[in-house]
Amino acid sequence: MSFLSNFPGAEEPVTEEKREAFRAYLKEQNLLESIKQAIITILQQPNPPSDALNYLLNAMPSPQEVDIDTLITENEYLKQKITTLEQRVHALQQQLSNSET
């Protein structure tokens, strides 16, 4: 029994194909190298941090700079589009209902 069995969905057996796909994803995202560098940074500290996980999360480089204003604008646009599409679905359902009677 591995430590992963404590996670939701871990009951499903992990196939070798899934492992290889995940490894490829980690390599593509440069995640393994980032984790390795963060651990090396901890090892080089004279006093290890009291909260290693939090330290690792803060030590990890951001994969890309995020433009918050762009994300907010895109989010608002997508919310409006959802509302418009929901209204369109409702109107089409009404048309369908009316045409069936």
CA-to-CA distance for 41 and 38, rounded, in angstroms? Answer: 5
Q: What is the pLDDT of residue 85?
A: 97
pLDDT tens profile 19-65: 899 888 888 878 888 888 888 888 888 888 888 888 887 777 665 66
Per-residue pLDDT, averaged over 54-80, amounts to 81
pLDDT above 70 (res 9): no
Q: What is the pLDDT of residue 65?
A: 61
Say if pTM beats, i.e. exceeds, 0.75.
no
CA-to-CA distance for 40 and 29, rounded, in angstroms? Answer: 19
